[in-house]
Amino acid sequence: MQRFLRMITFPELREGLGVTLKWFVRPKVTEVYPDRRPVLPYRTKHRLHVEIETCISCGQCEKACPEGCIKVIKPPKEVFKEDKRPQEFFLSLDHCLYCGQCQDSCPTGSIHHSDEWELAAYSFKEYLFDKETLPYDLEKKRYRENFWGNVEDKTGG
């Protein structure tokens, strides 16, 4: 009798239907990307950002970079005594591994990975940055400041 009851009530089918119904009412996992931007995790590493104002042209990042995608050009000696900012700073982001070694080696904390992550481009030339294009809008990016603390503190004022 019990077997007959089991047979006519289809427990397997009901279980399957229950499982699908459970997933039906659960929240969905789809990221609605352009409408809702994802919350980036702490210490996320994306496009490199260089604060030219605090850079002292020491070239440590250039040495540390395993891919050799950074090129720092010091200013001439007489200028360097007064103003340590680099004369030119090249970065080719399409080689970048996002390893973070440059930001670890930087004595002033001028170079670091930012949270700008929408980097799709039509040509690899758009991944070549120089001194003018390398910094980006700081107003938008507060995350980095939370991570690194105040840059002034780090460089000793």
Partner 1 sequence: MEFEVLMNTVGFPLIKILILLGVVLTCVAYTVYVERRLLGFFQSRLGPNRVGPFGLVQPIADGVKLFLKEDLVPLFARRFIFKLAPIFAMAPALVGFSIVTFAPNWVGADGTEHSFVVADVNIGILFLLAITSLGVFGIILGGWSSGSKYPLFGSLRSASQMLSYEIPLTLSVLAVILMAGSFRLSDITEAQQQFFGTRGLYYIVPLILAFAVYLISAVAETNRTPFDLPEGESEIIGFHTEYSGMRFAFFFMGEYANIVLVSCVGTALFLGGYDIPFVSDAALYASHPQLTSILSLASFAAKCSLFIFFYIWIRATFPRYRYDHLLKIGWKVLLPISLVNLLLVAAIKAWPHFQDWLGGAAG
Contact flag: residue 17 with partner 1 (CB under 8 A)? yes
Helices (H), ranges, 68-139: 77-82, 101-105
Contact flag: residue 9 with partner 1 (CB under 8 A)? no
- Tell me which stretch binds partner 1 (CB under 8 A): 9-17, 73-81, 90-98, 120-128: 9-17
- Contact with partner 1 (CB under 8 A): which of 3, 26, 36, 81? 26
The two three-digit tokens of residue 59, written as one number: 């070239």
Residues 30-59 touching partner 1, rule: CB under 8 A, are: 30, 32
58 burial via Cβ count (<10 Å: 0-12, 13-18, 19+): middle
CB of 27 to partner 1, least distance (A): 8
The two three-digit tokens of residue 102, written as one number: 């440059």
Applying CB under 8 A, the residues found at the interface with partner 1 are 13, 16-17, 19-21, 23-24, 26, 28-30, 32
